[in-house]
Amino acid sequence: MNDNAPKSIAVTPTTHASRYLQQLAKHWSHKLEVEFTPVHATIRFPSGAVATLEAGDEALTSTLEAPDAETLERMKTVLAEHLDRFAFREAPLPFAWS
């Protein structure tokens, strides 16, 4: 992604960040280019968007970069909806994108 690409970050409070990160990465690895460890994931979408997830003890930090603002907005929804499925006990997770 170039430095001018639209970008948004959300810090979502949860003590299960690593679990959700790994579940999401495994889920998407069947269709998408995914690299992940228990604390970091990079997911590349066909649209050109890239999601980077960082799991901490108290929060999951999600960074989205996209080729345009429309794709960025769509991918925010896609990411949040998928994470909420894995976090069904705590869903909906609060995503305050900035």
Q: Is the per-residue pLDDT at 1 higher than 90? A: no
- What are the tens digits of pLDDT across the range 30-60? 999 999 999 999 999 999 999 999 999 999 9
Domain carrying residue 19: 7-86
- What are the tens digits of pLDDT across the range 16-26? 999 999 999 99
CA distances 62 to 13, 15, 87, Å, are 11, 15, 15
Domain membership of residue 39 (yes or no) is yes
What's the CATH number where 45 sits? Answer: 3.30.310.50
Domain membership of residue 1 (yes or no) is no
Pairing status of strand 40-44 against strand 33-36: antiparallel
